[in-house]
Chain A
Amino acid sequence: MLSDITIGQYYKAQSVVHRMDARMKLILTVLFIVIIFLCRNFFSLAVMFVLTAVSILLSRVPFRMFFKSLKPIIPIILITAILNIFYISRGTELFSWWKITVTTGGLFTALFMAIRIICLIMVSSLLTYTTVPTLLTDAIERLLSPLKVFHISVHTLAMMMTLALRFIPTLIEEIDRITNAQKARGADFESGKFIQRVKAMIPVLIPLFVSAFRRAYELSFAMTCRCYHGGDGRTRMKQMKLSAVDFVALAIFLVALAGVIVLNHFFTSLI
């Protein structure tokens, strides 16, 4: 169950997408989300679909991984699709029974929405699969650095995010370890009613919190020992540089944006 969590999961591979600058990947992901919401018909959506497919192929991350991140979203996709089928009545009527009518318009919209959500999930998982979490938070810090003008401590926020992401796998491991230790003493997490199951978690949660606090103290102590005092005047070991690949990718996305706008203009919109 816990191993299904894909947030912040990195898939190691050698690919163009992995090599791209994290900042550019972040910007392009946001741009992708904007463009996909601009799509008004299947033709413009097709452009984005192809873009998603090409990015995934270039990333060399197996499709299985994307399906894994899609799995928890399937209920949402289904509910959205079903609601659309029944609520939208446009186009020719396919069949009607009691108060329910299904139309071609409804079917198409449902399909459209489903594809849109799938593309969204795939592209955002592509970002985390191909970017090391620390680079990602680094990129966020740099992109948000103009906020310093408003006295927002971007560095602190980014450091908190880095640490939080860094400790997700550690804590998952810890939960696994403690769970195993308690199972070895006959703890039962699988049966019983809801209240009993929540109670069964206590032997795991208490040691988990104790060790999380211990880790926090140890880490802050270690950081202080290495003279960490926040972001002021701190330089970086790794410089981020935009390369030709990044600009080519940006150009492709801009062409896609233009394509979507043009296609929206020439074909009737679906929604």
Chain B
Amino acid sequence: MNETPILQTENLTYVYQKGTSSEVTAIRDVSIEIRQGELVGVIGHTGSGKSTLIEHFNALKKGTSGRVLLDGNDVWADKSKIRAVRFRVGVCFQYPEYQLFEETVAKDIAFGPHNMGLPQEEIDRRVKEALQNVGLSEDYAEKSPFDLSGGEKRRVAIAGIMAMEPQVLVLDEPCAGLDPQGRATVLQMIADYRKKTGCTVLLVTHSMEDAAAIADRILVMNQSRVAFFDTVDAVFAHAEELQTMGLDIPQMTQLMLSLREKGYDVPVNLYTVQQVYDALLPRWKGGTHRAQ
């Protein structure tokens, strides 16, 4: 692990429409550190402030108070370098398919690299690679993005961010509105991309299962504050609290919780079938262990 965190926030607070009757504090006093190369799942209920938080990471929003540090430097330190920050922290927003505008898929993916002022050969290389990363064949390059299916549009939009080759890739609900197979494809795509490039990834989602499946650490936002920020295991140890926050915990964790309610002394921070299998089988073989 690297000494300085790649991305860091210090007491970050953001207030919408400050000074009017509809003033809302979206995030309050958020201080987190994201390490180089890790995959962080950002989880929270609708309106918990997770989307507002990520808009701070690439300096689209400036905190009402507090700072955001990228590689130890305040992103707002030099206003003329804001765009450079956005190339280093690539943010892909919710329903990114609605940002497509070019005539062809290749041109749309090239929009980011083009804005970076890269030479044409480099842009072509990146477009090719980005298409590969999202699992689309090169036949797609010359198609109109408006002729694609919803899932394909989504992947083209994600490729548009990947083509900038950011150090930190932030994806806001990349699986929203996709069918189970589409979800699995996108998640796998993100995991593969990270393995290949070693870049830091932040995955915003409200599905605990998605986060548990690929994340190293999980950041839980609740009512505009950071509720937990820890390893997957440690976060799921708080399964009951997560439930009171209105988050749907993985089915296996739920099973363990109900077992515990029935009086069995079992760990609750399990979230895959394999883990549960490993934990329960020895007990079953050794007879009943009813805790009193």
A residues with a Cβ closer than 8 A to B are 11-13, 64, 177-178, 180-188, 202-203, 206-207, 210-211
Interface centre among B22, B83, B87 (most CB of A within 10 A): B83
* Known A186-B83, A186-B112, A202-B101; contact A11-B21, beta-carbon cutoff 8 A: yes
**B93 part of interface (Cβ distance < 8 Å):** yes
Contact yes or no, A184 B83, CB < 8 A: no
Residues of chain B within 8 A of A187, CB atoms compared: 111, 115
* A178 and B115 within 8 A (CB): no
Cβ B21 vs Cβ A203 within 8 A: no
Nearest CB in chain A: distance from B265 CB, A: 48
A184: chain B residues within 8 A (beta carbon): 58, 60, 86, 90-93, 161
Shortest distance in angstroms between A156's beta carbon and chain B's nearest beta carbon? 30
Residue of B whose beta carbon sits closest to that of A68: B20
A186-B87, A203-B111, A207-B101 as given contacts; A180 in contact with B161, CB under 8 Å: no
B165 CB to nearest chain A CB (Å): 12
Size of chain B's interface in residues, with CB distance under 8 A? 26
> Which residue of A64, A180, A202 contacts B93 across the interface (Cβ within 8 Å)?
A180
Please indicate the chain B residues that have their CB under 8 angstroms from the CB of A11 in the complex.
21
* Cβ A203 vs Cβ B161 within 8 A: no
- Binding site of A, secondary structure by majority: helix, strand, loop or mixed? helix
Say whether B115 contacts A180, CB under 8 Å. no
Q: Can you list 20 residue pairs at the A/B interface with Cβ under 8 Å?
A: A12-B21, A12-B22, A13-B21, A177-B98, A178-B99, A181-B99, A182-B111, A184-B60, A184-B91, A184-B161, A185-B86, A185-B115, A185-B164, A186-B86, A186-B111, A186-B112, A186-B116, A203-B99, A207-B98, A207-B100
Question: A177: which B residues are within 8 A, CB to CB?
Answer: 93, 98
Residue of B21, B98, B101, B115 near A186 (CB, 8 A) is B115
With both beta carbons as reference points, the residue of chain B lying nearest to A64 in the complex is identified as B19
One digit per residue, 1 when the CB lies within 8 angstroms of any chain A CB and 0 when it does not, for chain B 74-95 equals 0000000001001100111100
Cα distance A186–B101 in the bound complex, in angstroms: 15
What are the 3 closest A-B residue pairs judged by CB atoms, nearest first?
A186-B115, A181-B99, A206-B101
Q: Is B55 an interface residue (CB 8 A)?
A: yes
CB atoms of B86 and A183 under 8 A apart: yes
> Chain B residues near A183 (CB, 8 Å)?
60, 86
**Contact of A186 with B164 in the complex, beta carbons under 8 Å:** yes
- Which residue of chain B is the closest to A61 with respect to CB atoms? B21
Question: How far, in angstroms, from A182 to B86 measured CA to CA in the complex?
Answer: 10
Pick from A12, A64, A185: contact of B111, CB under 8 Å: A185
A179 to chain B: closest CB distance in Å? 9
Q: Tell me, in angstroms, the Cα distance from A43 to B120 when the chains sit together.
A: 72
B-chain residues with CB within 8 Å of residue A210 when the two chains form the complex: 98, 146
The CA-CA distance from A195 to B284 in the complex, in Å, is 74
Select from chain A the residue with minimum beta-carbon distance to B103.
Answer: A206
Question: Does residue B37 face the partner (Cβ distance < 8 Å to A)?
Answer: no
**Cβ contacts under 8 Å, B60 to chain A:** 180, 183-184
Does B41 lie at the interface of the complex (its beta carbon under 8 Å from any beta carbon of A)? no
Contacts of B92 in A (CB 8 A): 184
Which residues from chain B contact A13 at a C-beta distance below 8 Å? 21
